[in-house]
Amino acid sequence: MYDKKHHYWSLFLLTRFHAKQKADPNHRFTLAEEFAVVFADAAGEIVVGGVFLRLFIANPGWILRKPKEFLTELLEKWCAMTSTMSPNVRN
């Protein structure tokens, strides 16, 4: 579906970038630090370090690009998830 508002915003960004690059040929396009792409199909998926856990578990031979960072984020995610869960303890 054609979105006219999105089209004009894209033209605005392209024109602005072109003007900056014309003034300085070394100027590079960068996205904001907080920029993130949201995929509707990925809603509800657990993502750790940019890796979808469901897909990682389904493909055990898959090699991680950054295994140390993945493990660090996995442990942080696990700690965060387990700390919010109430223990099932009987008194």
Q: What does 3-56 look like in DSSP terms, one character per residue? A: -HHHHHHHHHHHHHHHHHHHH-TT------TT-----GGGTT--EETTEEHHHH
> Is 89 domain-assigned?
no
> Is 90 domain-assigned?
no
Report the pLDDT value the prediction gives residue 89, as an integer from 0 to 100: 58
- What's the DSSP call for residue 63? P
Residue 52 belongs to what domain range? Answer: 4-84
- Provide the domain count of the chain: 1
Q: For all residues of the chain together, what is the average pLDDT?
A: 82
Q: What is the pLDDT of residues 29-55, one digit of tens each?
A: 887 888 777 776 677 888 888 898 999
C-alpha of 15 from chain center = 26
Report the pLDDT value the prediction gives residue 40, as an integer from 0 to 100: 67
> Is 70 domain-assigned?
yes
Report the b/e string of 46-67 with b at 16+ CB within 10 A: eebbebeeeebeeeeeeeeeee
